Structure 1
């Protein structure tokens, strides 16, 4: 009888340790989007509570909301190219659905020479999407993470 009980307990433990459980601590949350102009490039910074699992970057000509599929026009006037950045394991809300980022979800960036606008394109199932619109298709970009504090940095320049 004791062997059966031990076998059942071992099997139950194996299931709970083999299946990763999502938790609030495993999802980084967005608290702010900051922008700044530097010599030769414009910068967009996403302030996060932790590091996302990964991020993906692609150059596109249009974006849509990830849940509804509705097109999003990035603010800022004529946008010829969009840098679409997707953070896996990140959100703009906490585990209770409360917004952690309360700023604008689509705004122009008139003080920047290379970036025209920024739009939040996704905040769904631990996936956070950001679109950075710019006017020159010859622009270069770099996207990287920094820690202490955690943030994702998007640079666009010529």
Structure 2
């Protein structure tokens, strides 16, 4: 095979790979993280809440200590066990698909008796491309929010 044919074959292979990548990427332009599960776990120095997602990582995540939990949209107070409250907001995430079907079918509000400090969890918002959750806990302490991939999850740690 001459050099010109080899170059053409390599170029064709490269272009085919690029086009396949573009085609795959454009096939799911609206892909967003969808909540599928909520897990809790007690550790020696912290309580952990894990939000499991399908799809890509959220575009953004922020956690804030708040004086009370407020339901997104309605503005109503969310009654949750705890003296302190931590709100975690994720952008481009949801607990429902594009047809409005729940992707997370577990309880949207529950107590966490197996944890040392965190007393309760609630989904406080799921619309306009934001998923918001709240935690109630007993003692003032540190908090952290971490986004992990492969699989996609948001990890919330509250010191004990």
TM-score, normalised to structure 2's length?
A: 0.79
Equivalent in 94, 110, 113 of residue 110 of structure 1:
113
Could you tell me which residue of structure 2 aligns to residue 41 of structure 1? 46
Distance 2:110 2:77 in 1: 16
- Aligned-pair RMSD on alpha carbons? 1.3
Residue 34 of structure 2 corresponds to residue 29 of structure 1: yes
Could you tell me which residue of structure 2 aligns to residue 157 of structure 1? 159
Could you tell me which residue of structure 2 aligns to residue 148 of structure 1? 150
Equivalent in 38, 61, 68 of residue 55 of structure 1:
61
Give the 5 Å matches for 1:2-151: 23-25=29-31, 27-49=32-54, 50-74=56-80, 77=81, 79-137=82-140, 139-151=141-153
Segments ≥4 residues shifted beyond 6 Å: none
Gap regions ≥5 residues in structure 2 = 1-27
Contact 1:59 1:83 in 2 (8 A): yes
Contact 1:31 1:48 in 2 (8 A): yes
Distance 2:134 2:52 in 1: 15
Structure that is richer in strand per residue: 1
SS of residue paired to 2:73: coil
Distance 1:53 1:118 in 2: 23
Which digits, 9 at most, give the CA deviation of each residue in 1:14-70, with x for residues without a partner?
xxxxxxxx9541x21100010001111110000011211001111012111111111
Distance 2:148 2:51 in 1: 10
Gap regions ≥5 residues in structure 1 = 1-21
